[in-house]
A = this chain, B = another copy of it.
Amino acid sequence: MSLPHPQLDRDGRLQHFLDMDGLSRETLTEILDTAETLAPVGERRVRTVPLLRGRTVANLFFENSTRTRTAFELAAKRLSADVLNIDLVSSSTAKGESLLDTLRVLEALQADMFVVRHPQSGAARFIARHAAPSVAVINGGDGQHAHPTQGLLDVFTIRRHKPDFTQLVVVLIGDIVHSRVARSDLAALSILGAAEIRVVGPRTLVPADVTALGGRFMPNLDEALVGADVIMGLRLQRERMQGAAVPSSGEFFRHYGLTRERLSLAKPDAIVMHPGPTNRGVEIAGDVADGPQSVILEQVTAGLAVRMAVMSMVLGNRAASNAA
């Protein structure tokens, strides 16, 4: 077996969900459509469906993230799965156990799915490559590489407001080079055929190969905002603000902060996005984050639907492959 993309089977169906590599527009659209059918579950009085009843989902978090872990846990519970939260930040190597030994044990416990969060780029792929064939791996964010469910929820949210990607001008602002979110957004938007993805930020925080990633570097935010449909802020890690690459947070805001004045340069119906948590007064002004064009909280809700979609699809595809 030398499949080109470890997350797809021979027939191109998702077996894991690791990043956007090799995904077709059809596959992404199928995920988004599935998420649309699952979104109403969260609006109901009984917010569960039995799609994963009796299945075991293990959250393997090698990095703290209450927010992402909670979203995955809730998505799995809405699908009626049993969820194991395994805190590997503190416990994993306390007994000197290697990552592969930990995986083998969790497989022997007959988990159906690993949701992996890891500080190192490539960890999710590594785990998918070494996991037993019976286990599906979902990347919950690995280093600076990818955060594909965040990418999905972003395009899901965009599609609800702007269904035609081919007409879309998107502006991504801030620390692109260290951001797994930016990388997954660029990939998803490119696959879906976004007309233009403008990338704005200090030159030190924009990758040299941004064109290869589907983006166009623009040094000036005001110019980039003209004609924009979607404006996405990115989180500036506080530890980076102390480094040489970035000036003070005040200076960052002066050049790249999204204010009401700046927002008025975009199209009147432009939407404002941010993966959260926001640094108000650094990447975005508080009144813009809370303003009428902000869809930041819709993104959070969308995260449940897309995670439910991905989880049920990978397990469903595996059942289909095994039956074939």
Contacts and interface: CB of A to CB of B under 8 A. Distances in A.
Given A54-B46, A105-B67, A277 B110 contact: no
A55 B47 contact: yes
Nearest to A319: B45
B297 A108 contact: yes
A55 B43 CA distance: 11
A261 interface: no
A53 interface: yes
Nearest to A315: B45
Contacts of A109: 70-71, 74, 300-301, 304
Interface string A258-297: 0000000000000000001111000000000000000001
Interface string A63-75: 0101100110110
Given A54-B48, A55-B47, A87 B108 contact: no
A44 interface: yes
A164 interface: no
A312 interface: no
Given A45-B55, A109-B301, 8 more contacts: A45-B54, A47-B110, A56-B74, A64-B94, A66-B92, A101-B278, A104-B297, A109-B304
Closest 8 CB pairs of A and B: A46-B54, A108-B300, A97-B277, A66-B91, A108-B297, A48-B54, A42-B110, A108-B301
Q: How many copies does the complex hold?
A: 3
Given A53-B46, A54-B46, A86 B110 contact: no
A78 B53 CA distance: 11
Interface in A204-248: 238
A73 B278 CA distance: 30
Contact of A54 (B47, B110, B278): B47
A4 interface: no
Interface of A: 42-48, 53-56, 64, 66-67, 70-71, 73-74, 77-78, 82, 84, 86-87, 91-92, 94-97, 101, 104-105, 107-110, 238, 276-279, 297-301, 304, 319
B298 A108 contact: yes
Given A101-B276, A298-B108, A70 B48 contact: no
Contacts of A105: 67, 276-277, 297, 300
Contact of A44 (B47, B54, B319): B54
Which of A56, A77, A108, A278 is most buried by chain B, counting CB atoms within 10 A of its CB? Answer: A108
Contact of A110 (B87, B108, B301): B301
Contacts of A86: 66, 70
A64 to B, nearest CB: 7
A84 B94 contact: no
Contacts of A108: 297-301
B277 A107 contact: no
Nearest to A43: B110
